[in-house]
Chain A
Amino acid sequence: MDNEIYFIEKKENEIFITVTVSTHGIATTEVKLFQDGSIINKGFSTNGAGLISKTSLGTDIKLDGTTIKIETDIVLTKVPKSAWESCFKNLEIHYYLEGGKANQKQPIELLSSEKKKSSSGETIVVIKRIDLLLE
């Protein structure tokens, strides 16, 4: 699956990311920035909801060619087993990016090929990659 693309401009705008997850499982989201061979950890969620509150990724002129990797792990142990399949099917994750070129699709949504579940269905791993590119 190709990475999503979010276009940025040379306006010295700060680029922000927000991630919301809708699930009754315990969700943990981590955001990493890959840039020029280095990895910058932008933080992870801690409240079990997988929420990444509005977080700065840096200034647009320094972000051209970077890839944001957002990994969300969902553990459904506390949800009845009979609902695991529905939880996988109905999972919604929204990725909001701000500060880039105007009129881009918001939020960026989770694609079905980006979510994977364990053989039992108890654990779900979702990986979204977004490239930040100067247009």
Chain B
Amino acid sequence: MISLKPNKNITKSCFRMKNNILSILLLFYTFPLIAQDIEIKDLKTLNAPGFQILDIAPNTIDKPSNPKAFAASLMSLTSSGTALPKNFALEVSPYWYFKNKNATVSQYLNIKEENRSNSYTGLFNKMSMSIASVYSDSTSGSLVKNTNYIAFGMRTNVFTYRNEKQNQKLRTALVNFSERVIKLRPNQKDTDSLEQELNATSNRIRKLYGELMAESNDSLKRAINEKYINAITRKTLIKKKLDDLENQAPDLLENNIKKDTLSQNYLKELDDLPLFQVDAAFAYSEAFPENKTENKHFNRSGVWINATLNAFSFDHEELNDNLTLMMCSRFISDNISNENTVNEFYRQKAFDFGFKIEYSIKELSLSFEYLKRDYSNDSNLNSERRVGTLQYKISENLYLTGSYGTNFGSDSTLFTLFGINYGLGKSELKSK
């Protein structure tokens, strides 16, 4: 377990700042969850919009997934005596912290129900917010030497479509799973028998109470009272036995489900990807040269839409393979530095358009993404990004990732990223 507590210096600096991004940073730092210990399972290299707007995420076009309630990427939180934290990302999905009166698993997995298509379930449901910080110690791509970049991002699912065949398959899996759960409930015979006895005893208590109230003869009253007390004692004992069984029930049921092959198969069927998805994201970043708040200036903001088509598989049952095609279009407002100056910038609008193709088979996935960036007023700044990524799932929440290609920028920066995706200092970004 890694403890991530707010840093006093950071908090003080944020209070002094009147700009938006530091206020957001403060909000993230004071978010109730962040005061908790972060477990290693919640750490991963994020393809958060905050990283993507800076062109340093392993994948600019990200395969959609349901957001975690909380995730963190921690390359280094040491601020080296300066005011701002460096090299980290936090992502939260606020939805999970509110009550939803109409939540269902079909809504969550976008499975069509009798009266609802569940293709659109609201922008808030799958919204996640992230904050990312990246310190660049060398000039590379759009990043300037000795500058800390802090970015805020949001993303959400706009639309998810499953065809009728997929919907039917998933609905059947839910029906089958429910039937298994009923069969796998632990201690059913004992529980039912105790429930019957409890019901009979409760009725006996009620009857004896009526007799006790109606009886005027003292000796008969005493006899009834004794039976009445005995019945209450018996009821207490039965309830105690039922409580013991009920306390054990969640763990026993969980074990039964985990051991049950049929249940596991039905759960696996629910992982089937939807046919088509549209996701939207927004990100805003500021740069802090020398990592000082007084040097801060706007860096870049962008809004983008990704469309994903899970197009094809050779043998989904046996290989669990899938071919995914993704398209991305992104509008950017960029702050470009004037040539041969350090602190002079001018705004430029740019448009990114590109695609990603990914084939995954069992634990392995191979992808290639291409993006073209066109600036509206200066074609000399136009550039392209081509990155191939190989990812291997070592275990649940642990991935080995390698990326190779050229990043945006006039010098066609060679981009390599290789590491285990917890991002605990193992990942490195090299440029030539």
Which residues of A have CB within 8 Å of B100?
Answer: 22, 24, 90
A68 to chain B, nearest CB (A): 10
From A24, which residue of chain B is reached at the shortest CB distance?
A: B108
Q: Which size bracket describes the interface of A in this complex? A: 35 or more
A35 to B101, CA, bound (A): 33
Give chain A residues whose Cβ lies under 8 Å from the Cβ of B108. Answer: 24, 78-79
Neighbouring B residues of A34 by C-beta, 8 Å = 195-196, 198-199
Interface-lining segment among A11-19, A54-62, A96-104, A114-122: A114-122
A90 to chain B, nearest CB (A): 5
Give every chain B residue within 8 A of A92 (Cβ-Cβ). 99, 101
**A26 close to B105 (CB less than 8 A):** yes
Q: Which residues of A contact B70 (CB under 8 A)?
A: 82
Q: Which of A27-47 contact B (CB under 8 A)?
A: 27-28, 30, 32, 34-39, 44-47
Known: A65-B203, A82-B68. Contact between A28 and B250, CB under 8 A?
no
- List, in ascending order, chain A residues with CB within 8 A of B105's CB: 23-27, 48-49, 78
Name the residue among A44, A83, A133 with the largest chain B CB count within 10 angstroms: A83
Report the interface size class on chain B. 35 or more
**The residue from A25, A69, A86, A127 contacting B69, defined by CB atoms under 8 A apart:** A86
**Assuming A22-B99, A25-B105, is B202 touching A117 (CB within 8 A)?**
no
Q: Could you give, for residues 248-272 of chain B, a 1 whenever the CB lies within 8 Å of some chain A CB and a 0 otherwise?
A: 0111011001000000000100110
Q: Which residues of chain B from 160 to 205 have a CB within 8 Å of any chain A CB?
A: 171, 174-175, 177-179, 181-182, 185, 192, 195-196, 198-200, 202-203
Residues of B within 8 A of A37 (CB): 196, 199-200
**Neighbouring A residues of B177 by C-beta, 8 Å:** 26, 28, 48, 75
- Seen from chain B, the residues whose Cβ lies within 8 Å of a Cβ on chain A are 41-42, 66-71, 93, 96-109, 113, 171, 174-175, 177-179, 181-182, 185, 192, 195-196, 198-200, 202-203, 206, 246-247, 249-251, 253-254, 257, 267, 270-271
6 contacts between A and B (CB under 8 A): A22-B99, A22-B104, A28-B182, A34-B198, A123-B253, A133-B206
> Contact residues of A with B, CB < 8 Å?
3, 22-28, 30, 32, 34-39, 44-49, 65-67, 69, 71, 73, 75, 77-83, 86-87, 90, 92, 116-120, 122-125, 127, 131, 133
